[in-house]
Amino acid sequence: MFCTGCGAEIPEGSKFCTACGKPVEAGGTSNEENAAEGEARASLGPKDAELHAPLEPKDGEQEGSAANDGHEAPATRYADATNGVDHTVVMPHVGTPTDGGQVDPYAAPVPQKRSHAGVIVAVVCAVVAVAVAVGVFVFLGSDSSDGGGNMVINAIKGEPEPVGVPFEVDIPNYDPDDGSLVPVQVTGTDCDDNDVDEIQYVDEDGEGLSLLPGSYELSVAASPFGEGGALYAYPDDKVTLDIEEDGSVSMSGAFPLEFKLADALDVTDDDIQRAYDCAVDGGCDSKDQADDLKSAAEKWRDDAVEEENRRAQEEETRRRAEQEEAAYRVTSNYYEFTVPVYWRGRVTWTQSGNTTNIYSSAYPSRKVCSIEIEPASSTLNMGDIGGGICYHVDNGSQRVVVRMTNYAYLISYYASLNSSDPSTYYSMDEARELVDLQSMGSYSYDTMLSTYKSTSGRSGTLGQPTSIMGDTMADCITLR
C-alpha cells in the first residue's frame, strides 16, 4: 500500500507513514489503487508531473520535523492534474523517527535553529554610530580651541553647550603675535551648580571666552606682554556676566576696558611674574616664548630704572650746582654778582648796601677787589697800573664799577725799594696768593717780580692781571 500524503510505499496494515509520518487512513490505499494513480501520473506531461510530485525537504531540514516553530507539521504541496490548482496540505506533528527508522509519536519535536541576522545588524549599526561620534569628537577636540569636542559630546548627551562671550579691550600698540594674550579671570557658577574659578584668554578683538550658561564675574587677571616685553596698566573693574540656557548673554560694565602702557619705573617683579605665569598657562604658544617675553620685560624695566638713576644723578648734580651758585651769589639793588669758580673756597666777602668787598680767605685783611655803585653821570676815573677800575657798566642812571689793587705791580715795586714800612710789607706767600687770585692762575708773583726787575717796572705784562680781572667781572656781574 502507499501513503496518501507523500505517496511512499508502506507495509500493509501500517498506521503511520514511515516516510512522512502521516497517519494512514482507515482502509488504507491498496496496491491496485496506487498502481492506477501511478499510471495517471505517467500520463501527465513533464511540467504537470513536476507540479504533482511531492515536495522534497529543504537542505538541513529533517523530513517529518516541524517547519517554523516546531509545532506545525510539514506541508505537502501537489498540483491538481485537471485544473492546475496548487493545494497545500498541512501535516500535523506525529513525532520524530528513531534510530531504527520507526516513528515515535510521543517524542518531542526537534528544535530548529533561530536566525540571528537582525541582532547582528543592530549591533553593527550601534558600533558604527559610536565610531562616528568618537571620530567627530576627536576631530573637533583636537582642531578647535573653543571646546568643539565637548560640544559634540554635550549635544549627544543633551547637555548645554559652551557659549562664546565677547570681552572687549582697548590696548594701544598691542599685537598678541608680538606678546601674549589677555588673561581674563572667570569666577562664578555654571548651570550645573559647579563653581567656576579659572583663567581664559582673549585676543585684541576680545575673542576667546567660552562658558556654559551660568552667572559669572570677569576681570583682568594680569597684564599681557606687549612688544619688547612691555606691560600695561589695566582697570580693576569687575564685569558681571549672565548666560541663559538658550545662549543669550547679558553683561554689565563699561566696554571696552581701556589699557595704557605702564610706566616701566612702576613695574615690579611681581607684575612681571604674574604676566609670565599667565603667559605660560595659556597666553603664549610655548614656554620658550613666555621665557623670552619675561626676559624682555625685565630688561625693559631695568633699562628704564638705569636711565632714571642716571637722570636723577644729573639732576642732583645740577641741583647742587645751583645751590652752590646761590651760595656764591651776591645780590644788591642794582646788580647780581656770582663769585668766579676759581675763587670759590679761597675768598670771602662782605656786603654793605650796594658795595661788596672781596677778601682772600687765607689773608682776610687783604682785599682782592670791591664792587661799588656811582652815578652814571659822574666822571669815570680809571686809575693807573698800580690800581683803579678794571670793569664798569651802567644802566643809564647808575654805574657799577669794580676797583682793585694790582698786586703784581705794587708788591714788586715795594720789593724793589727794600722798604721797612710795615704797611708796604707783604710776605712771599701773601704776594703769591694775591697775584694768583687776580690773574685767575695765569701768572705767578715770581714771574711778575722778575719782569718788574728786568724792565724797571715798564713792561705791559705787569698790567695783565687788571685786564684778566676786567674780563672775569664782565662774566660775573649782571645788572638788575
- The DSSP-derived string for 19-44 is TT-PBPPTT---HHHHHHHHHHHHTS
Query: Whole-angstrom Cα distance, residue 57 to residue 63?
Result: 6
Number of Cβ within 10 Å of residue 145's Cβ equals: 9
Q: Where are the domains of the chain?
A: 1-112, 160-299, 335-479
Q: Which residue type occupies 368?
A: V
Closest-CA residue to 301 (of 239, 229, 401, 236): 229
List Cβ neighbours of 457 (8 Å cut-off, separation of 6 or more). 409, 412, 413, 416
| Strand partners of residue 220 | 184
Across-strand partners of 198? Answer: 186
pLDDT by 10-residue block (mean), the chain, 480 residues: 81 81 64 51 48 49 44 42 45 48 50 54 60 50 44 56 93 94 97 96 94 96 96 94 94 89 96 97 96 97 96 94 90 95 96 97 97 95 94 94 96 88 89 97 96 94 96 96
Which residue intervals of 43-147 are DSSP H helices?
A: 46-52, 117-143
Contacts (Cβ under 8 Å, ≥6 apart) of 447: none
Q: 257-258 and 169-170: which strand pairing?
A: parallel
Q: Report whether 89 contacts 75 (CB < 8 A).
A: yes
pTM (predicted TM-score): 0.50
Residue 42 has φ and ψ, to the nearest 5°, of -65, -30
- Contact status, residue 112 vs residue 65, Cβ threshold 8 Å: yes
pLDDT of residue 24: 75
**DSSP 8-class letter at 252:** E
Half-sphere exposure of 405 (CA within 13 A, CB side): 15
CA angle, residues 21, 26, 27, in degrees to nearest 5: 115
H helix runs in 106-227, sequence order: 117-143, 148-157
Nearby residues of 128 by Cβ (< 8 Å), 6 or more positions away: none
Instruction: State how far the Cα of 445 lies from the Cα of 431, in Å rounded to an integer.
Output: 6
Give the per-residue pLDDT at 419.
77
Distance of alpha carbon 368 from its chain centroid, rounded? 71
The closest of 419, 415, 386 to 403, measured between CA atoms, is 386
pLDDT tens across 79-131, in order?
444 444 444 444 444 444 545 555 455 444 544 445 555 656 665 566 566 56
CB 219 within 8 Å of CB 229: no
What is the CB-side half-sphere exposure of residue 35 using CA atoms within 13 A? 3
CB 400 within 8 A of CB 335: yes
Nine cell digits for residue 418: 727794600
CB of 183 closer than 8 Å to CB of 199 = yes
CA gap 244, 212 in Å, rounded: 9
The answer to whether 279 touches 293, Cβ cutoff 8 Å, is yes
Q: Residue 404's pLDDT is what?
A: 97
pLDDT in tens, 378-412: 999 999 999 999 999 999 899 999 999 999 999 99
CA distance 379 to 386: 20
Q: How far apart are CA 326 and CA 462, in angstroms?
A: 34
Among 136, 137, 130, 191, which residue's Cα sits nearest to residue 159? 191
What's the length of the chain? 480
| pLDDT value, residue 84 | 45
